[in-house]
Structure 1
Amino acid sequence: EKDVLRTMTGHIFFKGDGSKGQASLTRLLRAYAAYNPTLGYTQGMSSYAAVLLLYMSEEDAFWVFATLMEHCGLLGLFAPGFPLLHTYYDRWMQLFKKRLPKLAAHVSAETSAFIMGEPMDYDAMAREGDAMRFMLPSLYTTDWFQTMFVGGNCPAPSSLAPRIMDNILLDGNISIVFSLGLALVSLQKTQLLKLPQDKLAQQLKTICNQCGPSNELMDRAYRMNIREKHIGSADAAQSSQAHDG
């Protein structure tokens, strides 16, 4: 319930303890935990559910949420061990290096120095093993994937949330999150390249706070043109993770 109290607090529907939105969100999440007791509830789910409750009845929101979890690649973001989340860290770094190589190299070197005390590139960290490989992108992208830019340390303007959800429902996957991530860092590329390790890490964690007008950000995201083929099928990724485990 603490997670519910922190979800979309800037929106009037969810504002204030005991608000109608908070009560509805609590019921939906409890219903899903009963519907899928193996998974139950994991922090971050409330962000996706909250956006749905803004635009449909509680019952409809529940069934759409269940569909998102089971058919749009969300289940692996919240399942024990976060199998799909780890896959998406890798996908993000691959896309980041391909689309914005200079910035990706700078981020890898500076954030690894911030974490480890010495600069390393992403490939070097990958050779050290899974924990090292996931460390860099997990520092700032976890909230992107698990809260759809709505919660955590990186809340985007509430006007962006329905547009993100529309794309997830239309595409049947969360490729739009990758597109938005690339759009965010590209918009702040010049500033990010100037930042030292300590300030860069914090800037990446809160990058949505300076994202600017939603229309400009979405236009740039669409130009990134990230599709499921770029991030891989959620079902395939989860199957691969399970096999590797």
Structure 2
Amino acid sequence: MAASGAQERLEDNRGYYQSLLAMEHDTRLEESIHTDMHRTFPDNVLFRGKAAPSLQRALFNVLLAYGHHNPAVGYCQGMNFIAGYLVIITKDEEKSFWLMDALLGRMLPDFYHPAMMGLKTDLEVLGELVKAKAPAVGQLMAQYPGIWTLLVSRWFICLYIDTLPIETVLRVWDCLFYEGSKVLFRAALTLIIHHQPEILRARSLSDVCECFRQITCGAFTLDCHAFTQKIFTEPGILSMATIDKLREKCRQRIVAEESGRP
């Protein structure tokens, strides 16, 4: 709460969260949230409808309030996992709401917008970083256009929830709130660089996909402390200035492609 600025926002806006829940609700927003409720951590006892107490109501409230707070985003798939994770950690709706605001509003803008330009851009940026830091992998991936969207969209959109072990995700999130979005690239690059030999043995697209499913499991990611240390050493120097420069380049390329310009 302190590192992300969420605590300050909460204290400066007392009563705001409750006012969002008290307002007249958009029925389409409510319906889209309800659609994903049963898909959110279905194996977690705290999110089962008959659990006592169940966190489903808290999750619904946080998503509904955020949808009204940020109508340009409303509700997008993936947000349910973010909100659910925050509710599990904080056990507090209002804190979860302001942490969502920090993540989606400031740290990861356009990730969850309907056009998902931020996510598309960052997947392209990851591809550029892999070319620079693991060129052999970059060369392999060049054979498969759009491969990063297929392989790692879920890593980024769910912020590694359901990808890495829970204790490891918590460490990555600590770093994310403290250092910002470049940590997402550090974690991805560490997984790729560390497992470069296995990736390079892939002989087909299905081999690549299976390899990327496997590299998030096992002893390397289970040792949360060692993995967290690795994300700050294996990828080497990675400045925010470099990422911002790549984001600008990749965004321009995506816009040109989507508009049909050469």
Same fold, TM exceeding 0.5? yes
Q: What whole-Å deviation, never above 9, does each CA across 1:93-124 have from its counterpart, x for those lacking one?
A: 11111111112212333xx2xxxxxxxxxxxx
CA 1:235–1:89 in 2, change beyond 3 Å: closer, same or farther?
Answer: closer
How many equivalent residue pairs?
A: 216
CA-CA distance at 1:238 after TM superposition: 11
Structure 2 distance, partners of 1:93, 1:202, is: 18
Question: In 2, Cα distance between the equivalents of 1:236 and 1:200?
Answer: 28
Question: Judging changes above 3 Å, is the alpha-carbon distance between structure 1 residues 239 and 183 closer, same or farther for their aligned structure 2 residues?
Answer: closer
Q: Which residue of 2 aligns with 1:218?
A: 228
The aligned counterpart of 1:190 is: 197
After superposition, residues 38-117 of structure 1 pair within 5 angstroms as: 38-56=72-90, 57-73=92-108, 75-109=109-143, 112=144
Which residue of the partner structure matches residue 140 of structure 1? 151
User: How far does the alpha carbon of each residue in 1:162-187 deviate from its partner, in whole angstroms, 9 at most, with x for none?
Assistant: 2222122112x321111111111122
User: How far apart, CA to CA, are the structure 1 residues paired with 2:137 and 2:249?
Assistant: 27
Query: Where do 5+ consecutive residues of structure 1 fail to align?
Result: 113-131
1:125-170 Cα distance to aligned partner (Å, 9 max, x none): xxxxxxx5xx12101111111001104xxx2111122222212211
Specify the alignment match of 1:166 in structure 2. Answer: 174
User: Does structure 1 retain, via aligned residues, the 8 Å contact 2:121–2:254?
Assistant: no
Q: TM-score, normalised by structure 1?
A: 0.76
The percent identity for this pair of structures is: 19
- Matched with 1:209 is 217
**Does 185-194 or 18-27 show the bigger shift?**
18-27
Task: Work out whether residues 125 and 246 of structure 2, in 8 Å CA contact, stay in contact via their aligned partners in 1.
Answer: no
In 2, distance between residues paired with 1:17 and 1:165? 27
Give the counterpart of 1:175 among 171, 179, 182. Answer: 182
- Note closer, same or farther for the CA distance 1:157–1:2 as it changes in structure 2 (3 Å cut): farther
Q: CA separation in 2, counterparts of 1:136 and 1:239?
A: 17
The alignment partner of 2:62 has SS state of helix
Displacement, 1:33?
1.1
Q: Cα–Cα, structure 1 residues 233 and 72, in superposed 2: closer, same or farther, change >3 Å? A: farther
> For the pair shown, which has the larger CA radius of gyration, 1 or 2?
2
Instruction: Output the CA distance in 2 between the equivalents of 1:108 and 1:238.
Output: 16
Given that 1:51 and 1:162 are in contact with CA atoms closer than 8 Å, whether structure 2 keeps it comes out as: no
* Deviation of 1:242 (Å): 10
The alignment yields a C-alpha RMSD, in angstroms, of 2.8
The separation in 2 between residues aligned to 1:44 and 1:194, in whole angstroms, is: 31
**SS of the residue aligned with 2:55?**
helix
In the alignment, the residues of structure 1 paired with residue 251 and residue 142 of structure 2 have an alpha-carbon distance, to the nearest angstrom, of 28
Q: Structure 1 residues 65, 235: closer, same or farther in 2, change over 3 A?
A: farther
- For 1:234 and 1:44, the matched residues in 2 are separated by 25
More helix by share: 1
- Is the CA contact (8 Å cut-off) linking 2:131 and 2:138 kept in structure 1? yes
CA shift in 2, pair 1:137/1:196, >3 Å: same
What is the one-letter code of the residue matched to 2:192?
Answer: V
Which consecutive residues of structure 2, in runs of 5 or more, have no partner in the other structure? 1-33
Distance 2:245 2:80 in 1: 24
